[in-house]
Amino acid sequence: MSTLAITTIQSNLHWENKAANLALFEKKIRSIQENMEIVVLPEMFSTGFSMSPQLLAETMKGETVQWMKDTAAENNIILTGSVIIEENDNYFNRLIWMLPNGQYGYYDKRHRFAYAGEDEKYTAGTKRLIASVKGWKINVQVCYDLRFPVWSRQASLLPEEGQTGPEYDVLIYVANWPEQRSIAWKTLLVARAIENQCYVVGVNRVGNDGHNIYHSGDSMIVDPLGEILYHCNDEEDIFTIALDKTHLENVREKFPFWKDADRFTIDQ
């Protein structure tokens, strides 16, 4: 229970081509030799970061979600990444947390990227998702959420709330973050790890999208002190690491900064 295996897949994507992307990731996942527990794919991994949800959206019973169910079951993994979902006449950039038994949770991207018109096409989420795996608590978010630290801010739980200490241990961001703003991406991933005293996993795509916007990847894994454990840019890569719960607990015990955090609520 003291370790958690995280596998990141930094990949180019076929623009708005679901079948090609699902085949691509199926091949990549099957190629992994290391022990897998959680496999993380980029934002909108089946389509690329498209502003055409009316053409590409699926329901939760659609092809991509079914592919995630089948892949998670076949490989006995938790599989996560975001897809375009239509629900009640609204479109969502939805991160799905798929368990190997077919059960799932989901998180709808809170902060829509207005610079690219995402706010005009997609509905904002209102609730965070913190998943539980082997005694680890994992907060999952999507791309542009990274720029808004209040939404990811670690809360200090109190005994009357049934638990003491920080509310989560790992913060995951899936992204399609362009190379021209990669400094912000890399800096903020480290900042989120330091301020929340947690591991941070950021998984980005590489290559040009359908608008010829280049993505350098720069996927990273950062420890609770801000040390970069993994970083890869400008190429496709698959990386597996065992996160160490003992290291995390030692950092929080030696530097109990989380106890001094402000308590607050967020208006929805």
Helices 63-75, 18-31: inter-axial angle, 10-degree rounding? 10
Helix (H, G, I), strand (E, B) or coil at 142: strand
Name 237's Cβ contacts closer than 8 Å, sequence gap at least 6. Answer: 8, 9, 10, 217, 219
Percent helix, percent strand, percent coil in the chain, to nearest 5: 30, 35, 35
Residue 174 · residue 131 · CB < 8 Å? no
Beta strands in 88-213 (DSSP E): 90-98, 104-108, 129-133, 136-142, 156-157, 165-166, 170-174, 199-203, 206-208
Which residues does 92 contact at the CB level (< 8 Å), separation at least 6? 84, 85, 86, 108, 109, 122, 123, 125
Residues tagged active-site: 43, 109, 143
Q: What single letter denotes the amino acid at residue 256?
A: P
Supply the Cα-derived Rg of the chain in whole angstroms.
18
- The whole-angstrom separation of Cα 144 and Cα 44 is 13
Listed residue (139, 222, 145) closest to 187, CA to CA: 222
Residues in the chain: 268
